[in-house]
Amino acid sequence: MSSKAAVPFSRDALEQVLKRRVSGLYDYGPPGCGFQANIVDTWRKHFILEEDMLEVDTTMLTPYEVLKTSGHVDKFTDWMCKDLKTGEIFRADHLVEEVLEARLKGDKAARGQQVEEKDDKKRKKKVKEIKNVKLEDAVVAEYESHDITNPATGGKLEPPVEFNLMFDTAIGPSGQLKGYLRPETAQGQFLNFAKLLEFNNEKMPFASAAIGKSFRNEISLFLMAEIEHFVDPEDKSHPRFAEVKDLKLKFLPKDVQEAGSNTLVEKTIGEAVSTGMVDNETLGYFIARIYQFLIKIGVDSNRCRFRQHLSNEMAHYASDCWDAELETSYGWVECVGCADRSAYDLSVHSARTNEKLVVRKPLDQPRTVNNFEVDIDKKKFGPKFRKDAGAVTKFLTDRTQCELEDLAKELADTGKISADVPNVGQVEVPAELVKIERVERTEHVREFTPNVIEPSFGLGRIIYSIFEHSFWARPEDKDRSVLSLPPLVAPTKVLVVPLSSHADLTPLVGKITSALRKAQVPFKVDDSSASIGKRYARNDELGTPFGITIDFDTVKDGSVTLRERDSTKQVRGSLDDIVKAVKAITYDGVSWTEGTSSLTPFETVTEEK
Amino acid sequence: MSSKAAVPFSRDALEQVLKRRVSGLYDYGPPGCGFQANIVDTWRKHFILEEDMLEVDTTMLTPYEVLKTSGHVDKFTDWMCKDLKTGEIFRADHLVEEVLEARLKGDKAARGQQVEEKDDKKRKKKVKEIKNVKLEDAVVAEYESHDITNPATGGKLEPPVEFNLMFDTAIGPSGQLKGYLRPETAQGQFLNFAKLLEFNNEKMPFASAAIGKSFRNEISLFLMAEIEHFVDPEDKSHPRFAEVKDLKLKFLPKDVQEAGSNTLVEKTIGEAVSTGMVDNETLGYFIARIYQFLIKIGVDSNRCRFRQHLSNEMAHYASDCWDAELETSYGWVECVGCADRSAYDLSVHSARTNEKLVVRKPLDQPRTVNNFEVDIDKKKFGPKFRKDAGAVTKFLTDRTQCELEDLAKELADTGKISADVPNVGQVEVPAELVKIERVERTEHVREFTPNVIEPSFGLGRIIYSIFEHSFWARPEDKDRSVLSLPPLVAPTKVLVVPLSSHADLTPLVGKITSALRKAQVPFKVDDSSASIGKRYARNDELGTPFGITIDFDTVKDGSVTLRERDSTKQVRGSLDDIVKAVKAITYDGVSWTEGTSSLTPFETVTEEK
């Protein structure tokens, strides 16, 4: 299949096919939709069933409080500029790119071709800079220095400000409850943590998973699949790591990037973890499983890399993060994130709701601890602090061991505690109302907040990348494009093609379609008057891997021809044997050669056009 | 399995199980989610693959204009009452029910038990009346006469008004475009009609289908699956009707309802169509296929009926409509609608967008038509009507044949046309600017707007009904509940149970789970210290159809025991044979008796508790 590379990739040609055949204006048409359904099905089998995860289907309407707690209300933003006169709003990074590009074109025309290349590099560098650093303050200043105006009217624009990317909506018939359409599925999983742990018989580690639409402004179709793997922070080993440790992957670690290089490091995931490049076994296990999934559904292994986040792009709480990036004509596109988010998510929700989101694990050996404890005299506390009694109590019981040590000292030294209590103000607690002392206890149970390892898939981007990786043109005719989707995920598996509309062939179509239907193999019939070659070509570009041809020999002996899309090889056999071969190649991962070894090779002259 | 009816159904007991084991607060937990995924998968195979439908995945954010055109903005409402003082809002029908119920309870307590039954009937009749007629004007008056107040505060409420049930949101970064979260998937399919017709090589009839979340206030989880079958209004036969015509169904036709009866009519779908009770073959075909689907996924055939819409509850444009209703403890619940919507949907969108949504079908024989045609003198029209020229032209070209006949007469009699043109006002068109005459033409093509037959599934309601239909308690212990989900859709197919935690058994668990994983059979392991009986009981209530037990004989000869959930029957055999039996029963529709005929029956003493 080296022929696949003979005609250079054309994004225009792919977009033609996608627009014409796969998608509607905002929507997936039938082939895109079938492909997406198969990707989701494969994801579910590869992760949820194979790894015994707990799937949840959480609400799309998320109350304000939840997303305030998670940080989305404050930080889930893009920089936008407003034209005060027309009211139009522009995404700042897109606008810079567009305006600089237009100016360069003008300059080029004036100065001739010689400077083009240098300018192009300069512009690309500038645009990249602006996009990559997310228009932070320094860039905003730079932005202004370029005097960017409304490209249509030339009107003055306001300086860029952050706009939140979430869709807001009101929940309940009178809109009492402010909320958002979820920007991700993760929060729904964190909120259900206690219930999921109970469902899992309190056993750790375990993972939950959710597949569903999420909503971000400017992205109309955004299907995500997210896993939240909850793990003991003191033990991030993985029982099945040995099964993947010899898998070789291409990495772009942070030290290489920081040295200004893009050179990929190829090593096994086992080495990556043992050398500490990847933080821990569980993170490494998921990196390997993500890779296996991507290859299974049609990603080109040569155009898949794992890029580590730099320290400054990673959230402060995360301990390590790798993105699976796929190479497309747009560059390397981030398609799957795989982060160790430490205890952050469960901690913030727990702090907000006062619900303990912890795991209690019996200790092999009981252990003795000697901690400061707070003992409040509630009878006296109420009359003294009245309505503030709760807030003062919470303030005292929320202190860390270090803070308690200081308070104990203050109490011993001054006979009282002076504190600035939130929502109350300066307060004095006299020694007769509170004791803070070291107490020795024997613990049989260790209590901890699980860490979260989160593989998060943007299925739409993966689907687009696979289209690019699978799309090629036949060298003998570059207008005949082919989408080499793996049979497992191709929307239609078989095209049934009667040689002609002759009355003798029509009943055979029914016989073959009912055999395929019984075998649950998705098929289409093309009994149009177009030539066989043309009918196959139409389905090659939709990614249909097999064709079954009915001809006059079929009338005589019941045999049919099976054609393979990429090689256009053909074999002949009985209908039963052909269907069996299609099923084995499609669903059991058998190769074409192996699956058709008992069938008769069938030679034709070159396919008609 | 007559034992299933021995313990009366308890909704409380079912709700306990659902809350504890299946769902979270607003969300589906793992078993509910797995069940839902299997229902969707079965739906996709039963309808989309089997019937060769075109699946689409359309946007959830629908612009205002689309839903204004479809009628949702004006008519998709519920009656609500507002408490002006507190700002609370109540659904009017729920409130009446609640308040009347509370009052009756008070009355009962005062007057003793004798009147209870009569009152109950009266109340139920009243509530039913109010709910069924959707609080139309007459009922609103009645509502006021009952002096309904805020049940919590006793405060006065505003009279009921209609609230729209859709969630509104703004589309685009600055919220320029007003829109709604889709209340159904249908509109997205209508908007893509032209593209779908092209994709189907202009062939009729064809169907599109969409599965996805829809949003209606007060319903947080609302998964729909909708089919739009586009058909020639002059030919509503169906090529596969013969395959289903002998299927016997329970009908509640409109004449029976109008006579005040609830008696079901049992007949084949063939008779229902041939007698004209069901309007046409295609509608009848879908009714039959809906029934087959419901039975396949676990609906009790004795608690499924098809109720015809009364003339006054059906939209004015619909020619016939049947609801599949399932009987639950809440009464008969509408779960699937199946309506012949005539040409309404495509006509309104076409009128709004001026895009022709029609099919052109070559005629077998050319035909001569003699129609009135409008011939406008555009050169004179512009100067005469200036900015109104377009509106006046549209007015004239939009007239029906009857209207044109009248206008032609007016033109001949008076030398002009006087007309009230929308958005323009009274206009006079003199005869020298327009001709209206009969023209004879030969047509080779018939152009028509397809009719739409729409089966629309509320999957959440179906799922709940199946839980009720499948839920029973073992007569020997009514606390041991069982959810008899069909193996095909049960979230987990097999529970793997090692007899004890003995070290000899542990490696066998791994052997069995990898065999099941390889066979792609979803399973769970329960190696807790609970008794075998208790472990099975826990999974009986989750609907897991099979159990595989590992004991000390497994160590010796590799054989395992397979247990069936409903009968608690057991058989014994090699691991391979047991897995083969599980696959055949689950996925190929083979019965337990047939699937285990070559295995050895295995007798145990009564299961331990």
What pLDDT score does B459 carry? 92
Best residue in A58, A164, A230 for a mutation probing chain B (most B CBs within 10 Å):
A58
Q: Are A437 and A375 in contact (CB under 8 A)?
A: yes
Q: Which residues of A touch B172 (CB under 8 A)?
A: 89, 217-218
Residue among A447, A451, A456 at smallest CA distance from A280: A451
Mean pLDDT, all residues of chain B: 84
Ranges of each domain in chain A: 23-60+181-345+452-458, 77-111+134-164, 367-445, 481-601
Cis amide bond preceding B205, omega within 30: yes
- Say if residue A462's pLDDT is above 70: yes
Give the residue, A124 or B260, on which the prediction is more confident. B260
What pLDDT score does A215 carry? 77
Residue B322 distance to chain A (closest CA, Å) = 28
Which CATH number describes the domain made up of A481-601? Answer: 3.40.50.800
Which of B44, B61, B80 faces A173 most closely, judged by CB atoms? B80
Confidence of residue A173 (pLDDT cuts 50, 70, 90): low
What pLDDT score does A140 carry? 59
Q: Which residues of B touch A524 (CB under 8 A)?
A: 52
Beta bridge partners of A328: A331
- Say if residue B239's pLDDT is above 70: yes
Tell me the per-residue pLDDT of A179-235, one tens digit each, with 9 for 90 and over. Answer: 887 888 888 888 888 888 988 888 899 999 999 888 776 555 578 999 999 999 999
Residue of A nearest to B195 (CA): A24
Which of B26, B181, B208 faces A59 most closely, judged by CB atoms? B26
User: What b/e string do you get for A220-241 counting C-beta neighbours within 10 Å, with b at 16 or more?
Assistant: bbbbbbbbbbbbbeeebebeeb
Residue A158 distance to chain B (closest CA, Å) = 14
- Say if residue B142's pLDDT is above 70: no
Determine whether the interchain pair B32/A87 forms a contact, defined as Cβ–Cβ distance below 8 Å: no
Determine whether the interchain pair B50/A89 forms a contact, defined as Cβ–Cβ distance below 8 Å: no
One-letter-per-residue 3-state SS of A149-211: CCCCCCCCECCCEEEECCCEEEECCCCCEEEEECCCCHHHHHHCHHHHHHHCCCCCCEEEEEE
Q: What is the DSSP string of B359-392?
A: EEEEEEEEEEEEEEEEEE-HHHHHHHHGGGHHHH
Confidence of residue A83 (pLDDT cuts 50, 70, 90): confident
Determine whether the interchain pair B49/A522 forms a contact, defined as Cβ–Cβ distance below 8 Å: yes
Percent of chain A with pLDDT over 70: 85
pTM of the model: 0.78
On the CB side of A290, CA atoms within 13 Å amount to 33
What pLDDT score does A131 carry? 45
Residue of A nearest to B527 (CA): A201
Tell me the per-residue pLDDT of B472-511, one tens digit each, with 9 for 90 and over. Answer: 999 888 888 999 999 999 999 999 999 988 889 989 999 9
B605 SS3 class: coil
Tell me the per-residue pLDDT of A142-164, one tens digit each, with 9 for 90 and over. Answer: 566 666 777 777 777 777 777 77
Percent of chain B with pLDDT over 70: 85
**CA-based torsion, B141, B142, B146, B152: positive or negative:** negative
Give the pair of three-digit tokens for residue B440: 């004879």
Determine whether the interchain pair A29/B196 forms a contact, defined as Cβ–Cβ distance below 8 Å: yes
Which of B21, B181, B188 faces A27 most closely, judged by CB atoms? B188
Q: Give, in order, the Cα–Cα distances in Å from B251 to each of A362, A454, B288.
A: 60, 51, 12
- Say if residue A75's pLDDT is above 60: yes
For domain A367-445, say whether CATH 3.30.720.200 is its number.
Answer: yes
Which of B27, B172, B524 faces A56 most closely, judged by CB atoms? B27
What pLDDT score does A574 carry? 96
What pLDDT score does B487 carry? 97
Cis amide bond preceding A455, omega within 30: no
Which of A29, A56, A522 faces B33 most closely, judged by CB atoms? A56
Residue of B nearest to A201 (CA): B528
| Residue A81 CB burial class (10 angstroms; 0-12, 13-18, ≥19) | buried
Determine whether the interchain pair A215/B26 forms a contact, defined as Cβ–Cβ distance below 8 Å: no
Q: Are B493 and B522 in contact (CB under 8 A)?
A: yes
Tell me the per-residue pLDDT of B349-400, one tens digit each, with 9 for 90 and over. Answer: 888 777 888 898 888 889 888 889 999 988 888 888 888 888 888 888 888 8
What pLDDT score does A401 carry? 85
Give the pair of three-digit tokens for residue A431: 């020694």
What pLDDT score does B132 carry? 47
Provide the pairing of β-strand A320-328 with A304-308: antiparallel
Residue of B nearest to A83 (CA): B174
- Say if residue B604's pLDDT is above 70: no
Nearest-angstrom CA–CA distance, A507 and A525:
13
Give the residue, A344 or B99, on which the prediction is more confident. A344
- Say if residue B82's pLDDT is above 90: no
ipTM: 0.73
Cβ atoms within 10 A of the Cβ of B76, count? 17
Mean pLDDT, all residues of chain A: 84
Best residue in A167, A187, A200 for a mutation probing chain B (most B CBs within 10 Å):
A167
Confidence of residue B135 (pLDDT cuts 50, 70, 90): very low
Give the residue, A8 or B541, on which the prediction is more confident. B541
* Helix locations, A433-493, DSSP H: 459-470
- Say if residue A2's pLDDT is above 50: no
DSSP structural state of residue A57: B
Residue of B nearest to A194 (CA): B24
| One CATH from 3.90.1300.10, 3.30.930.10, 2.40.30.10, 3.90.1150.10 for B23-60+181-345+452-458 | 3.30.930.10
Tell me the per-residue pLDDT of A278-290, one tens digit each, with 9 for 90 and over. Answer: 999 999 999 999 9
Q: Which residues of A touch B170 (CB under 8 A)?
A: 167-168
Confidence of residue B593 (pLDDT cuts 50, 70, 90): very high
Q: Are A360 and A445 in contact (CB under 8 A)?
A: yes
Which of A169, A174, A195 faces B29 most closely, judged by CB atoms? A195
Which CATH number describes the domain made up of B77-111+134-164? Answer: 3.30.40.230
| pLDDT, mean of residues A557-585 | 96
Nearest-angstrom CA–CA distance, A55 and A50:
12
User: Does this chain's domain B77-111+134-164 share its CATH topology with B367-445?
Assistant: no
What pLDDT score does B417 carry? 92
Q: Are A575 and A562 in contact (CB under 8 A)?
A: no
Q: Give, in order, the Cα–Cα distances in Å from B329 to each of A256, A386, B8.
A: 65, 50, 12
